[in-house]
Amino acid sequence: MYRCCNVKRFLIMLLCDLVAVGLLMLLFRCSLFRTEGVSDPRENGIPLPVLMYHSVFSGRHSDYVVPPEVLESDLAYLSDHGYQAVLVSDLVEYVYNGKPLPEKPVMITFDDGYYNNLEQCLPLLEKYDMCAVISVVGSYIVNQAEQDSHITAYSYLTFPEIQTLLESGRIEIGNHTYDLHSHTHRQGCGILPEESETAYRELLRSDLEQLQSLLASQVQMRPVVFTYPYGYVCRESIPVLRSMGFLATLTCYEEPNRITRDPDCLFGIGRYNRPYGISTDAYMQKALKGS
């Protein structure tokens, strides 16, 4: 009887020990799970606000023209609030190779390739240690830049000036089409209602390759980012862009971006246009929301 009670007591104590060990293991796993869950607060994607500028000069101002002091105010704001500018090439390195991005990345973009992006913007980018993506239109370079150069208000960049920008180490060049920057008959580079997909893809490929080849021959680079003219995104364009080696596209949709390790996140990057007439604080509250 005494031996039986001891055995029963031993079994009860052993069972209690096993239960205690099991509870400890469960608590440890839960704690580990919680720790892993908060180890990377950006695991659902890194917020990336993208700012969109066009022409920068003192004179006629509009939704697409701001004076240099507005750009400087914006850059100072970004710097004071800990933002670091990145290029599309930085996003590509993160997505494809895992190279870390800054804690608070921001992208600064300029559309159309105005000469004042070199004359007015580059010195400010250097002053605030920023970089930017400038998307150029091929026909503007070939047909207008050389003939009417160095006019701050409306001249476009020449190939030597693009080379100067690239050599600064602060500028990435994007393809903004060779000659599809229009919204008269065709809406930007979009497909026409009566146009077949085959014909459209041939036209788009030919146009984009014309600028790609020019940039390759004149400044020894081929852009990996395509910027939709007027923000007219066309789904039929995506297979063409991918097949040509483009790794990212910029739109005019004013929406936040989250950069993940999925290459698809680089297609359709939203941007916030910077108009004249609102304060830096008001613009940044809108553009940086969620970042």
* Residue-wise pLDDT tens digits, 146-205: 777 788 999 999 999 999 999 999 999 999 999 999 767 888 999 999 999 999 999 999
d(CA 52, CA 250): 10
Total residues belonging to the chain: 291
Residue 265 in this model has a pLDDT that exceeds 80: yes
pLDDT tier, 291 (very low <50, low <70, confident <90, very high otherwise): confident
Backbone angles phi, psi at 48, to 5 degrees: -135, 100
Contact assessment for residue 276 and residue 70, using Cβ atoms and an 8 Å cutoff: yes
What are the start-end ranges of the H helices in the chain?
2-38, 68-80, 88-97, 116, 122-127, 138-140, 159-167, 197-219, 237-243, 280-287
pLDDT tier, 231 (very low <50, low <70, confident <90, very high otherwise): confident
d(CA 152, CA 75): 21
The pTM (predicted TM-score) of the whole model is 0.85
